[in-house]
Amino acid sequence: MKIMAETLISNSEKVVLTFINALNDEDFTTAGKQLAPGMKFDGVMGSRDSADAYINDMKHMKFKYQVKKVFADNDDVCLFYDINMGNATIFSCGWYHLVNDKINSLKVVFDPRPLLEKKD
């Protein structure tokens, strides 16, 4: 489901949702344009210290996001979403912090057990 930019109340939301829609479309050029070069990613399963490293990972993983709820407070945007990771769809929360209209940091939290459990 694409979120239409016209209905947004802040530019920060527009940047983050443009990023998510681009990832869903596998348009990694547009996704990368939403990130600050030194963007920091912290997640349950690892971290990255640059936009290039993050986008390279996304090119391989090709996650799909279904946004459930958007919260915004100036340069901070929080999303609740389901992330389809191929083997499992995980309910997650992402906290995006923007500097100069670019995503400068992203922290993602979720319960990793469905990814770690052995399939019989």
- CATH at 25: 3.10.450.50
- 1 within domain boundaries: no
- 88 or 28: which leads in pLDDT: 28
35-43 sheet: strands from edge to edge:
46-48, 35-43, 102-110, 89-99, 76-84, 64-73
Q: Look at residue 106 and tell me if it is in a domain.
A: yes
Give me the pLDDT at residue 115, please.
84
Q: Is 38 a member of any domain?
A: yes
Please count the structural domains in the chain.
1
Task: Provide the domain limits for residue 47.
Answer: 8-116
Whether the per-residue pLDDT at 120 is higher than 80: the answer is no
- pLDDT number for residue 57: 95
Instruction: Count Cα atoms within 13 angstroms, Cβ side, for 30.
Output: 14
- Report the share of the chain in percent with pLDDT over 90: 80
Q: Is residue 56 part of a domain?
A: yes
pLDDT tens, 79-97? 999 999 988 899 999 999 9
Q: Does residue 33 sit within a domain?
A: yes
Domain assignment of residue 81, yes or no: yes
Identify whether the C-beta of residue 46 lies closer than 8 Å to the C-beta of residue 115: no
Residue 28: band (very low, low, confident or very high) from pLDDT cuts 50, 70, 90:
very high
Q: Report the alpha-carbon distance of residue 106 to residue 111 in Å, rounded.
A: 17
Looking up tokens 């993983």, which residue turns up? 61
Strand partners, 72: 77
Mean pLDDT estimate for the chain: 92
Q: To which residue do tokens 């940091």 refer?
A: 105
Q: What is the pLDDT of residue 2?
A: 60
pLDDT confidence of residue 9: 73
